[in-house]
Amino acid sequence: MNLKPLEDKLVIKKIEKEETTKSGIVLPSSAKEESNMAEVIAIGKGILDDEKKKDEIQVGDKIIFSKYAGSELEVEDEKFTIIKFSDILAVIK
């Protein structure tokens, strides 16, 4: 994958939620809610050049982002989302 985000954008890959409930009920794909948890795949130069932002996020970090943020795309049969840095709500450590 050769996808390079510009300025304050990030490329993320959503982390799929469990397909069964805690009680063991299997959910069909139509009943599952979209995940707002993802892994950072690539970071734009605008973020890397900003010392404060650069220290907050790195490639490989797991994040939680705004539910309706970003633009989804498919590259080489993989789904990615491009979001703004400001759409990140939290980093999971």
Q: Are 5 and 24 a contacting pair, CB within 8 Å?
A: no
What digits encode the pLDDT tens for the residues 43-84?
999 999 999 999 999 999 999 999 999 999 999 999 999 999
What digits encode the pLDDT tens for the residues 76-88?
999 999 999 999 9
Fill in the amino acid letter for 19. E
Of 51, 64, 50, the C-alpha closest to 15 is 64
Model-level pTM?
0.83
Q: Which fold has domain 9-16+31-92?
A: 10 Kd Chaperonin, Protein Cpn10; Chain O (2.30.33)
3-class SS letters over the chain: CCCCCCCCEEEEEECCCCCECCCCCECCCCCCCCCCEEEEEEECHHHHCCHHHHHHCCCCCEEEECCCCCEEEEECCEEEEEEEHHHEEEEEC
Domain boundaries, the chain: 9-16+31-92
